[in-house]
Amino acid sequence: MSEKETLEDRITAALKPLMEDVRNESFTPAYRAKINDSELVGDIVSKFFRWDPKSIIKAFLYALEDSNAATLTSQIEKLTKVKI
């Protein structure tokens, strides 16, 4: 019996090829092997929002909220003065 593919599985499958594109097109060959998934996704988010810090922070805050990190979300909102 196979497990049903989750939304999280589909997101990961969709992002992996894009992450490899970013790895190969945005970084030097010497640095590529050192890059982790968080850095690649961060680079994708930065480019998606066209390097707009406020939009990047809001996306980060929504990600924290989705992860049930309400206290941390609130602390970062206060620190950055960006609200979601």
Do 21 and 35 fall into the same domain?
A: yes
Do 24 and 41 fall into the same domain?
A: yes
Do 20 and 43 fall into the same domain?
A: yes
What total number of domains does the chain contain? 2
With 70 as the cut, is the pLDDT of residue 1 above it? no
Q: Which ranges in the chain belong to alpha helices (H)? A: 7-26, 29-32, 37-48, 53-66, 70-80
**Maximum Cα–Cα distance for the chain, whole Å?**
49
Do 74 and 35 fall into the same domain?
A: no
Do 16 and 41 fall into the same domain?
A: yes
Residues 6+ apart with CB under 8 A from 80: 57
Structural domain containing residue 19: 1-48
- pTM of the shown model: 0.86
Backbone dihedral angles phi then psi of residue 24, each to the nearest 5 degrees: -80, -25
The rounded distance, in Å, linking the Cα atoms of 60 and 35 is 20
Structural contact between residues 45 and 56, judged by C-beta atoms closer than 8 angstroms: yes
pLDDT in tens, 38-71: 999 999 999 999 999 999 999 999 999 999 999 9
**How far does CA 24 lie from the centroid of its chain?**
18
